[in-house]
Amino acid sequence: MLKDVFRYSMKVLTEKRFRAVLTIIGIAIGPLALVMMTSTVRGYAGFIEKSILALGQNTVVMLPSEKYRLSKSDIDYIKGLEEVDDAEPFYSTQGYIQTPEGRKNVFLYAVDPSMLLRAIGGLEIELGELPQDVETTYCVIGHSIAYSVGTGTKIYDVGDVITVNMVEVLSGGRVNVRRISIRVKGVFKEFGGAAFVSPDQSIFLPAKSGTTLLNMKEISGVFIIAKDPSLVDALTRKLRSVYQDKVTVVAFQQIARTVSSVTAALDFIVFSASLSAFAVAVAGTASTMITSVIERTREIGVLKALGFTDRQVVLMILTEAIIMSLIGGAIGITLGTLGAHLLASRGLSIAAGSSRVDIVANPEITIETLITTVLITIMVGIVGGTLPAYRAAKIPPAVALRYE
């Protein structure tokens, strides 16, 4: 019976194929929007969350405000807190290097090497080693500095010297470009895009280089490692309470939670927006099916005269609607998947203060998303087809046979 109903429905749809195609296009917009938007948003959200968490769930960063200077006594106080396992200052600035591919912007961090590896989880040495604390002119460079982004060929190797240009604004507004030369002692493995800190595009020096080689007079911030991720909230509360507005306390774990709640809200908005496309599809399907039923009133009368029950008539009309939905769904999901990859490949820029990180994340197309999309699309067919099907089933056969 189902095979016959399917065959009959396909005949009806192919007879009025232009109308069916237009309806299918209308239906396809819903799954297209749902798959494309949710998978892209989820892809980027997941990427950002993962990147933030990769920086360390125990890690807290404290940055001084413009009016406050961090000192050694601050570091000692923080180290003495019961929630804190370790704390080290860091110096950070920006510069640029000249490569065969042209000018490349880099971030420079002067920080205790062991603290660096603890604060940024997942950071691993690919070549060479970390410089000793006293090797103030040695550095470890990020993967994007060591290798050409375009071709993947090596630009800097262990032992090479990198010249970094740093723009300094002097008193009176004069601008001076200061050049420093650093020898590469190690290269980090590719870390991938990371939010707020981008190890691939950074040069890491020992902590002492901050005041000597980089000529920085003020501590840029403090990396703090909590004893346990569960203590991070208490630690940040304590630091904020003690330092008030003198510092900004950033916990990657908290950022990840905030990002998670924001992206969940965004996900809901995207999902709701996609549902409106499905609502339009329901109206389109209902309109098509009602027209089809009216046109076939006499035929439905004949089917009933031949012995088709009301339920079988409903099944036939609903099958037509569901077939259109499934075709529309398949087209929508396919185009949505392609669209998501296209959209995601354009990348996203995240600006944090003066730094900017470009990230490219793959869309997150999950089985759950696809099943949800297919189920909603089938519902479009069922909801859109129910009223016309019910109407068709309830036409008295004698009346239907008289219909002109």
Partner 1 sequence: MTSSEDAIMQLRDVWKAYRVGDIITWALRGINLSVLRGDFISIMGPSGSGKTTLLNVLGLLDRPTKGKVYVDGLDVSTVSPDELARIRNRKIGFVFQQFNLVARMSVYENIELSLIPARVPAARRREMILRALKSAGGEVEWLTKKPTQLSGGQQQRVAIARALVNNPEIILADEPTGNLDRASASVVLRTFLKLNRGGQTIIMVTHNPEVANCTNKIYLISDGVITGIRTPSRGECIALEGNV
Burial class (CB in 10 A: 0-12, 13-18, 19+), 310: middle
Q: Nearest distance from residue 399's CB to partner 1, in Å?
A: 9
Token couple for 149: 């982004």
Kindly state the smallest distance separating residue 264's Cβ from partner 1, in Å.
49
Q: How far is the CB of 11 from partner 1 (least distance, A)?
A: 6
The least distance separating partner 1 from the CB of residue 1, rounded to whole angstroms, comes to 6
The Cα-based distances of 309 to 183, 320, 389, 398, 402 in angstroms read: 86, 17, 12, 14, 19
Q: Which residue, 306 or 351, is less far from partner 1 as judged by CB?
A: 306
State the helix-helix crossing angle for 297-305 and 252-295, rounded to 10 degrees: 80
| Cβ at position 382, least distance to partner 1 in Å | 21
Least distance between partner 1 and beta carbon 323 (Å):
15
Task: Copy the structure tokens of residue 395.
Answer: 């036409």
3-state secondary structure of 242: helix
Instruction: Name the residue nearer to partner 1 (CB basis): 121 or 397.
Output: 397
* Chain-centroid distance, C-alpha 391: 46
Query: Which residues are near partner 1 by CB under 8 A?
Result: 1, 3-5, 8, 11-12, 14-15, 298-299, 301-312, 396-398, 401
Place of tokens 């009301």: 310
Cβ closest to partner 1, residue 302 vs residue 371: 302
CB nearer partner 1, residue 178 or residue 311: 311
**CA dist., res. 273 & res. 282, Å (int):** 15
For residue 79, what are its two tokens?
A: 């180290």
- Of the pair 4, 157, the CB lying nearest partner 1 is at 4
Nearer to partner 1, 187 or 314 (CB): 314
- The secondary structure element, H or E, covering residue 184 is strand 175-188
Least separation in angstroms between residue 318's CB and partner 1 is 16
H-helix or E-strand spanning residue 106: strand 102-111
Picking from 262, 261, 236, the residue whose alpha carbon sits closest to that of residue 58 is: 236
Closer CB to partner 1, 175 or 306, in the complex: 306
Q: What is the DSSP letter of 292?
A: H
